[in-house]
Amino acid sequence: MLNYDSKLTGIRIMQRRKEKGLTQEQLSKKLNISKNHLSNIERGNNVPTLTFLINLCNILGETPDYYILGIISGKTNEIENLIRQLPQSEQKTVLTLLETYINCLHNR
């Protein structure tokens, strides 16, 4: 069963935008939407349309799966392989760190 979380989608968009060095104003111009609309999507108040997602992927990269579900294209196996190289106690530490990080993102 898949669950959609608009706040997580917004966080992924915001993080990717910042990684690319774009402001909300710059990205909204490229997407041909208002800065206010982009801000609402990034805060999880608005759900992005399919057209928005396609345009976003063309500008920022990744796939709709990444923004909607958090599925990292091509990197998932890399991440899993790196974690598997750690001793089990260290794997638990990484899991705790990731959970803490995700909780912090939810509480912004």
Q: What is the pLDDT of residues 91-108, one digit of tens each?
A: 889 888 888 888 787 776
Query: In this predicted model, what pLDDT tens digit does every residue of 70-92 receive, in sequence order?
Result: 877 666 567 777 888 888 889 88
Average pLDDT value over all residues in the chain: 88
Comparing 77 with 48, the larger pLDDT belongs to: 48
Length of the chain: 108
Q: What is the mean pLDDT of residues 30-44?
A: 97
Q: And the tokens for 26?
A: 């710059």
